[in-house]
Amino acid sequence: MTLILDNAAVVASTDVGAIIDALEDGLRAEAAGGVDTVPRINLAAGGEFFRLMPVVIAGMDIMGFKVFNGSIAQGVRYVIGLYRASSGELLSLMDASYLTAARTGATTGLATRLITQEDDVPVVGVIGSGLEARTNLEAICAVRTVREVKVFSRDAGRRARFADEMGERLQVDVRPVASGADAADADAVLVATNTGMNTGRVALEAEWLPSEAHVSTIGSTMPALREVEAEVFARADVVVVDTEHARNESGDLIAAVEGGQWSDDKLRLLHDLTTAATPVAGALTVFKSVGTATQDIIAAAATYETARARGLGRNVDFLDLKVF
């Protein structure tokens, strides 16, 4: 039987803490060579795109794919297929619209847990006020004790609503501020924005950051998207990425490389931190996320298990096994 989860069922089954813990286990397996995957496959489809991300995670007995299509202007559809690796059974098909945002947040939460210490981030600055700003902030608060949050986005009404809603949800003092510079004056800075395709605009400038901080940036996931000034990477003591392909996929990293503000000596892979004997050391640390199939399928598996436990979704019987 295959469990079908629409977006509402996925939202009701999302447990950020469970996903963070599952990600740590899965990325530890990845660091040990227990993951088989390929770079994401990108195809043009008229004025839209079609992207496929497959992976096998033998150590967790799961495999699957994420496929999404659409455009930045018109919107994007996301679907995940989750399989049992040992049997080939299709466990679930799920709408991955919200799950993608939750997975992104959980990965940021895991990175924050691996890079910072317990008392390092009492004040968090958020630049952006959309869904992923919400899921990423929730995950940061799940792994660290946060006392205060400052949020900035270009729309004053949206940042005020974000402050009200997330303050109530997280039981943390969340307040809107008047500029990105105000938000960036914090112990941890989350940048989760959509500055538009091919605009060259950035949401975070290096001079806004204090001498010691941890930056999480998740908005620039295509070559045509920017979010963080290249000088941020030049200032950083350590830059952690979730995949080595990020340098070719993120407009921020491409700009830093082309501008001579990038150093491979600073680079660390997130999965390697799960097995590191010593914590990351540096006054200014940056986590740059573009997302991976490994993260998506681990998050899907955790969500599938929660949905089953809560009796959510609809079971269907299809995809007969053909024996040759």
Task: Profile the chain (324 residues) by mean pLDDT over runs of 10 residues.
Answer: 97 97 96 94 88 96 96 88 97 98 98 95 97 98 98 97 98 98 98 89 97 96 93 97 93 96 95 90 94 97 98 92 74
Residue 175: phi and psi, rounded to 5, are: -135, 145
pLDDT for res 278: 82
Which residue reads 């079609």 in tokens?
50
Domain ranges of the chain: 2-100+294-316, 105-291
pLDDT for res 319: 81
pLDDT for res 324: 74
Instruction: Please give the Cα distance from 35 to 294 (Å, whole number).
Output: 8
Tokens describing residue 85: 């690796």
Q: 105-291 belongs to which CATH class? A: alpha beta
Answer yes or no: are the C-beta atoms of 299 and 136 closer than 8 Å.
no
pTM of the complete model: 0.95
DSSP 8-state assignment for residue 208: G
Q: 2-100+294-316 belongs to which CATH class? A: alpha beta
pLDDT for res 200: 87
Separation of first and last alpha carbons in the chain = 22
pLDDT for res 151: 98
Parallel/antiparallel/unpaired status of strands 48-57 and 35-37: antiparallel
pLDDT for res 263: 94
Answer yes or no: are the C-beta atoms of 232 and 209 closer than 8 Å.
yes
pLDDT for res 94: 98
pLDDT for res 281: 82
